[in-house]
């Protein structure tokens, strides 16, 4: 059974810092991995989608990497801003079937 | 604009009552999903449907029921058999190799 772990559970940084959020998964037979952002009381917003054949994806100040063989992904946020404060969720989709399995998330607070 | 619409945003349920959460999408996605989110926990899959008139149980299906009569709609009923229904419910859809798209959620509270 696939299990997804996100470290750290919470992170507080001053504005302007570069930071890394970590995601690990136990079964490397994945189809893709998706990073989401969730603001309090809101739905999930997709940030980046990495297919299993890809190593990384970039969008603006965000960069996500994938090491499928070791079961790891990282989300890099450059020059963090207070508006980046949210919960970041990592989710993997298995090779067989459409189901996404989620980590518990990392709560990020960027202080101004 | 294409997207997923969940309604209502807030819902209150009395003990012993069944309630239905609506999820509609205009993305032409084949697959639709219902997830439950509790504080401090990741999302857990309740039910999913890959095509019309077909659906499968997820990890926590007990006390819930769904239907998929139309491609665009995937309503979730929280029955009286669900003993702890207070949570945030999220609907999602997907197609082929693309990622998931989520709705804005329904917060259900037992009163």
Instruction: Flag if A43 and B90 touch (Cβ within 8 Å).
Output: yes
User: What residue of A is the nearest CA neighbor of B3?
Assistant: A45
Instruction: Flag if A49 and B99 touch (Cβ within 8 Å).
Output: yes
Residue-wise burial string across B6-42, b where 16 or more C-beta atoms lie within 10 A, e elsewhere: beeeebebeeeeebebbbbbebebebbbbbbbeeeeb
A·B CB contacts under 8 A = 57
Judged by a CB distance cut-off of 8 A, whether residue A57 touches chain B is no
Q: pLDDT in tens for each of the 112 residues of chain A?
A: 899 999 999 999 999 999 999 999 999 999 999 999 999 989 999 999 999 999 999 999 999 999 999 999 999 999 999 999 999 999 999 887 778 999 999 999 999 9
B53: left (phi over 0), alpha (psi -120 to 50) or beta: left
Confidence of residue B96 (pLDDT cuts 50, 70, 90): confident
Q: Which residues of B touch A98 (CB under 8 A)?
A: 31, 33, 48, 50, 94
pLDDT at B83 over 90: no
């Amino acid at each position: 059974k696939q299990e997804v772990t996100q470290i750290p559970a919470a992170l507080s940084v001053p504005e302007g810092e570069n930071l890394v959020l970590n995601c690990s998964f136990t079964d490397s037979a994945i189809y893709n991995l998706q990073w989401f952002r969730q603001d309090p009381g809101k739905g999930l917003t997709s940030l980046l989608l990495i297919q299993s054949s890809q190593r990384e994806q970039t969008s603006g100040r965000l960069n996500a990497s994938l090491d499928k063989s070791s079961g790891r992904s990282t989300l890099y946020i450059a020059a963090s801003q207070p508006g980046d404060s949210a919960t970041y969720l990592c989710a993997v989709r298995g090779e067989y079937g459409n189901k996404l399995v989620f980590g518990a998330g990392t709560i990020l607070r960027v202080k101004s | 604009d294409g997207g997923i619409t969940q309604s209502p945003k807030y819902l209150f349920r009395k003990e012993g009552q069944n309630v239905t959460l609506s999820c509609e999408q205009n993305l032409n996605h084949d697959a639709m999903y219902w997830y439950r989110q509790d504080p401090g926990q990741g999302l857990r899959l309740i039910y999913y449907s890959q095509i019309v008139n077909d659906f499968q149980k997820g990890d926590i299906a007990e006390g819930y029921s769904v239907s998929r009569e139309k491609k665009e709609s995937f309503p979730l009923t929280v029955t009286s058999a669900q003993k702890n229904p207070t949570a945030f419910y999220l609907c999602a859809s997907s197609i082929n190799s693309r990622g998931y798209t989520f709705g804005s959620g329904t917060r259900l509270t037992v009163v």
